[in-house]
Structure 1
């Protein structure tokens, strides 16, 4: 029962535009992840998931969990644009007393499970799938994980369980933007060859460009075929994405994992970039005509720099950061905290 008025491309743009505004107004974070996952979320809500906006707890709905709950603004935007609640409420994101907490909250209609503590979403999605299959139901269970999240051991315990019980009604999607927290995945904890790991755990593996809507739709069609075989394995879609996708100066810059667009060139350039890729048939409720005279960055502004931990971390302390211990006479490093 999919009744979205948007195409996946239109909804993805809406998610990105709302994401910029929501983090800008609230001073919230995780915009880079919101931008990378937008195409996956949009395709799910326009082409894949069965749901009823008038009856969010409809028993015939597919179950969905955004396990990487820090990208919750993407789900909030999708749910609002699909009609689960008023779009105007998105402006309350991260505000005191708001239902739209920084990480996904089940207090909103259309949300089955609160997330934010990484490593839990797949286990719950596996539980949904197992219960549905035991009851002989045809509904499916979907979950979107982060790639950094897959450092959690609970993810792999759930993966083993899902294969053992041949949960053909389970589909996991990894937003594989190759970055986590402060650095690239491979500089934090190596996970490649990522697809081979999941195959070893007994899953069907589909690897695609996760920012390409056609590839996403083809992948989900394959998942639909797999669900028809009761003895089939669970499926994982490794969706290779770009963190910050859609706003060039944010792409592959770990700074935007935590930073929000501040007033000035950050906000103006983000909005301008999105208007350059705005699909036909959508309107920008915040800046309908983009920004007429956007503030531009100067050579003094921190843009297009490498902010990864591996690049910026320096263990050498300058001489003025040392002091002599009066009792022992030995040098002691003083950390500037």
Structure 2
């Protein structure tokens, strides 16, 4: 399976999983799909039939709310049956809303943001101390980088010269309720990581050639590496792209589900079969004039408190 085929499958499974479960975070699943697909087809050294292989590369999705993307990748790679994806979010399922280590192929449970890089740094240091060849990869959200624990781990990794540690920031520029730059002011991410002593690479996180080139360029120079991957939240579904609404909303029955499936169907790579709607949706329900499309749902646009920041009062 190519990375492009796996990315499509991740998006299609993500739509189905959140639709069936009423789960959240489809926007995050769609933005990180290409990063996860390239990692699981061309970068990570893993053996699906031996998920606990001691020398496997470790992978942590620190932005664990996008766990459906990892579940889909693991299932398609053969770590567990694809049919199990339909149990996402159900009571008693191993496929919890945030990433769970109870699944084969998952090294660390995540979802409480800011913890993944610390765990990954520990794994990388352990490999160094024990003379093991594996690398550790950690995917973070850009909003997650507001967590102080991320920078404690960054400082730790630089101090111990963990060049077997690679962080990837899914830089979709949105978090929780708003744009990142409307939530907490910060200097450019790449400059911040450089200041902490890391190698910094940048790429288009939705372009597979750009991602391949970046991962191939990771140096071994006594420094950890971060790839700042610029992505589009909701990538692949036009009415979800860069709309914060889809951080929490799931595709409901009717035009939301039908139009999402239709868009994916029209862009599927050669050789890919849709496991849920093999012939697509021939007569999809369409949005009417009352459909909630194209509106700014960010907190800064929809909430108008009486207080103002100092610079807004001037």
TM bucket (normalised to shorter chain) is over 0.9
Say which is worse superposed, 132-141 or 150-159, in terms of deviation: 132-141
Superposed, which structure 2 residues align to 1:279-290 within 5 Å? 279-290=269-280
Paired residue secondary structure (2:105): coil
Paired residue secondary structure (2:202): strand
Superposed, which structure 2 residues align to 1:1-337 within 5 Å? 6-223=1-218, 226-227=219-220, 229=221, 232-315=222-305
How many residues matched? 306
2:310 counterpart residue number? none
Following superposition, the deviation at residue 315 of structure 1 comes to: 2.9
In structure 2, how many angstroms separate the alpha carbons of the residues matched to 1:115 and 1:107? 12
Q: Residue deviations 1:27-70, cap 9 Å, x none?
A: 00000000000000000000000011111000110011000000
In structure 1, how many angstroms separate the alpha carbons of the residues matched to 2:23 and 2:259? 18
Following superposition, the deviation at residue 191 of structure 1 comes to: 2.8
In structure 2, how many angstroms separate the alpha carbons of the residues matched to 1:41 and 1:7? 12
1:324 counterpart residue number? none
Following superposition, the deviation at residue 87 of structure 1 comes to: 0.1
Q: Residue deviations 1:241-283, cap 9 Å, x none?
A: 0000000100000000000000011000100111121000110
In structure 1, how many angstroms separate the alpha carbons of the residues matched to 2:267 and 2:114? 34
| TM-score under structure 2 length normalisation | 0.96
Q: Residue deviations 1:166-213, cap 9 Å, x none?
A: 100000000000000000000001233110000000000011110000
1:325 counterpart residue number? none
Paired residue secondary structure (1:196): helix
In structure 2, how many angstroms separate the alpha carbons of the residues matched to 1:276 and 1:191? 39
Q: Residue deviations 1:280-337, cap 9 Å, x none?
A: 0110010111101111111111111110000001236xxxxxxxxxxxxxxxxxxxxx
- Over the aligned positions, Cα root-mean-square deviation in angstroms equals 0.8
In structure 2, how many angstroms separate the alpha carbons of the residues matched to 1:191 and 1:110? 35
Say which one has the larger Rg. Answer: 1
**Structure 1 residue ranges, 4+ long, deviating more than 2 angstroms after superposition:** none
In structure 1, how many angstroms separate the alpha carbons of the residues matched to 2:102 and 2:305? 45
In structure 2, how many angstroms separate the alpha carbons of the residues matched to 1:18 and 1:137? 34
Paired residue secondary structure (1:205): strand
Unaligned runs of 5+ in 1: 1-5, 317-337
Unaligned runs of 5+ in 2: 307-314
